[in-house]
Structure 1
């Protein structure tokens, strides 16, 4: 019998705990298709005439932040039994893949005030995070773990899960540590026809899939367009169905029209 045993970094333990807690969130899941043909064209034109380049993901994060700001309930936290708390800033936790001891490992990077900063600033933060050195003890990029965080990895599972439950019952602490929006993209890894549904403890989470060229109706004609597969998780505890639809409709308009490129 031949086999190999590999040790994974401590950050994977935190990811497993998040998945365990996230399964109990009352998220409503949407599987969406957005026509990003015009938006990607505008980004290519922008990069031709500007020295500071922007990526599609950086622009998409910017659009999401600015759109959510107009529908703030979508990123609110439940506090107590019948209250929600809404923060002024849109802080988005973005998954950045880094090389750790020869292994590619996803790390969350919290980009703050996404509703205010420029696309160029977002692109710069992501680029810096990718090039930043990390150790197996890091959980959140740009925020070095202290003694308490190191102890976290030594705790048994039931105590680690209690930590996450405590965090979510204290929204101010949760917002400070992980923001109020989650964004993860596998589309940059390769072309995948379909959607993936992430698990999250955030009030709202975006799973960005691939951009696929496919025939669709455009201006009453069949045309080959660039279609983005995107999944969205929204906490039904803080946002009802009708406001969800209005938010998604505005998001669709902003993404497909190339908001502020």
Structure 2
């Protein structure tokens, strides 16, 4: 059997960072909830705005806006436990969001930190995401970062233990919650389940069209697949369920999109 068609490529330093993150996240007490949310109204408003203005509004910005509002109503979800067993509850909602951008002619997702999302309008979050998407190569590493990713694995992975050791330092570096938009890379419904170093991560999956009975009439609706991941060491089941219900209500009500001109 010939192996002439095989190709050996170097393993990039950035991929090492991803491996370190996933290995460390797998040690946490992650609990995943698979949720479907009717986003027909939100999608309709986004399409209407595009038809009227020619501007495509960011669906990820909409999710971030709803998430930040839900955390404002349930602040104890926005918390971390440190190595001494104390729980740090943060007032600021700093969202680490996966933004789709073009690097080297290829569409990829890169992390971007949206500070103070609980005090931001949908439009403000949308504008920041669009600016991040247009930034020149946001994946470029500094010299110090490149050197750090070449350290031995057990040393590199120490940084991902910051949430458990120093929650404030973790917040400054990586935010308090995460939104990962896996659905941006495909079409149709479906969930994605991933470990995380955050107390709360929302993974946006695909959108599917299915019938739903509303006021006695059967209509076709658009359903968003969401994976809501909690650190069970910090968040119990009942508060998590109440938070998910609040988030679902905000998404179904198209929270924030009715005021797209608000800055």
Normalised TM-score (structure 2): 0.88
User: Aligned residue for 2:194?
Assistant: 198
Matched, 1:37 2:33: no
1:41 offset after TM fit, Å? 1.6
Matched, 1:19 2:19: no
Matched, 1:3 2:6: yes
1:218 offset after TM fit, Å? 2.4
Q: 1:48-87 alignment to 2 at 5 Å?
A: 48-49=51-52, 54-87=57-90
Matched, 1:246 2:247: no
Matched, 1:175 2:171: yes
Supply the distance in 1 between the matched residues of 2:114 and 2:173 (Cα, whole angstroms). Answer: 11
Supply the distance in 2 between the matched residues of 1:166 and 1:179 (Cα, whole angstroms). Answer: 12
User: Aligned residue for 2:252?
Assistant: 256
Supply the distance in 1 between the matched residues of 2:108 and 2:140 (Cα, whole angstroms). Answer: 12
Q: For 1:163, which of 159, 166, 180 is the aligned residue? A: 159
3-state DSSP of counterpart to 2:119: coil
Residues 11, 137 of structure 1: 8 Å contact kept: no
User: Aligned residue for 1:131?
Assistant: 134
1:260 offset after TM fit, Å? 2.6
Residues 66, 255 of structure 2: 8 Å contact kept: yes
Q: Gaps spanning 5+ residues in structure 2: where?
A: 258-263
1:11 offset after TM fit, Å? 2.1
Normalised TM-score (structure 1): 0.89
User: Aligned residue for 1:230?
Assistant: 226
3-state DSSP of counterpart to 1:208: strand
1:137 offset after TM fit, Å? 4.5
Q: Gaps spanning 5+ residues in structure 1: where?
A: 139-144
The root-mean-square deviation of aligned C-alpha atoms, in Å, is 2.1
Encode CA deviations 1:180-237: one digit per residue, 9 max, x unaligned.
Answer: 1111112122214321112211110011011111122322333211000110101111
1:7 offset after TM fit, Å? 3.3
